[in-house]
Amino acid sequence: MGEASPSRFKLAAVVLSVAVAGLLIIQAYTIRSLRSAESRMAVVEARQSKVRDTIDGEVAKMRQAAALAEAERDKSLEAVRDEVDQARRQAQGVAGKVKEEALKSVDQLASRVDVSESKLEQQQEAGARVATEITGLKQAATSAQSNITSVSTEVRQVRTDVANTQGRLERTIADLKRTTGDLGLMSGLIATNAREVDALKQLGDRTYTEFTLYKRKEPIKLADVSIVLKKADVKSSRYTLELQVDDHKIEKKDKSANEPLQFYVGGSRQPHELVVNQVGKDQIVGYLAAPKAPVAR
């Protein structure tokens, strides 16, 4: 026990010495850091002071420039006020002269207002009448244009109908045939039905008279001849008839449908032609074709 106590004391002394040395080192480092920080702070403060001086100088310049600008502005405003006052005075003088001249003009105009008003009323009334007439003319023009349009439509339709009719007529005539008549003469165009007869009528080469003839004793007057039907055979489609021409009787016996019967009338050099298209019971249906302008033989 007596030997161990001095050893512990020595160990504690060594530890204490090391701790003190460490504290001294830390204190020295701290002092150095503080001094470095103080140096940097001094530099920063010097810079801040320089910046403040610069800013103060610029602010002073700006204040001086603002003061100069304000002075110039006040001077300009004063000049403008002077010009406005001068212009107002001149305007008042001119206004007085203008007012005086205007009053004279008013007196002169007043003497003409009554006449002008009466003329204006007359012109307005005339204008109203003209406007009414123009409206009527416009309505009439619109109605006329409508009528013209309607008539144009009708004309186009009529032209179309005429063209169609002409086309049908030309086709019908193209279908008609010529044949040798019972006198051995070449006939004109032969129609076999009412439509073809109408086509020949429109062609206008001859005068065509259609008929329906019944069997009887007394003759029937047809154009410039008289006809008596003697016989009509439905089965064979043949017939017999008697013509009375220029106080002469001509018998056409046992003739067939659509065969041209030829005979001369009144000294004409062109024969009449009678064509029967249908043979019924005791009746025949056909037409008589006569030359339009007889020529002396």
> Is the pLDDT assigned to residue 297 strictly greater than 50?
no
What does the DSSP assignment read for 44-72?
A: HHHHHHHHHHHHHHHHHHHHHHHHHHHHH
Confidence of residue 56 (pLDDT cuts 50, 70, 90): confident
210 within some domain: yes
**206-214 and 283-291 beta bridge pairing:** antiparallel
Burial of 283 (0-12, 13-18, 19+ CB in 10 A): middle
pLDDT at 87 over 80: no
Within a domain: residue 238? yes
Q: Which residue from 226, 204, 202, 208 is spatially nearest to 216, judged by alpha carbons?
A: 226
- Residue 247: partners with Cβ closer than 8 Å, 6 or more residues away: none
Beta strands in the chain (DSSP E): 206-214, 220-222, 225-233, 238-245, 248-256, 261-263, 272-280, 283-291
- Domain membership flag for residue 110: no
Q: Please report whether residue 254 resides in a domain.
A: yes
Indicate if the pLDDT at residue 210 is higher than 80.
yes
Please give the average per-residue pLDDT across 251-270, as a whole number. 93
Each residue's pLDDT tens digit, 159-196: 777 666 666 666 666 657 788 888 989 888 999 999 99
Mean pLDDT of 206-221: 93
C-alpha distances in Å from residue 208, one per residue of 140, 178, 250, 273 = 48, 16, 21, 10
pLDDT at residue number 251: 95
Asked if the structure places residue 199 within a domain, the reply is: yes
Q: Is residue 285 part of a domain?
A: yes
Residue 188 has a pLDDT of 86
CA pair distance 148, 154, nearest whole angstrom: 10
pLDDT tens digit string along 269-282?
899 999 999 999 99
- Of residues 69 and 130, more confidently modeled: 69
The answer to whether 192 and 199 have CB atoms below 8 angstroms apart is: no
Residue 251 belongs to domain spanning:
178-291
Residue 202, domain member (yes or no) = yes
Residue 147, pLDDT > 90, answer no
Q: Higher confidence at residue 98 or residue 79? A: 79
Number of structural domains the chain divides into: 1
Tell me if 206 is assigned to some domain. yes
Q: How many CB atoms lie within 10 A of CB 203?
A: 16
User: CATH number of the domain that 260 lies in?
Assistant: 2.60.98
Tell me: the pLDDT tens digits for 21-38?
A: 888 888 788 888 888 888
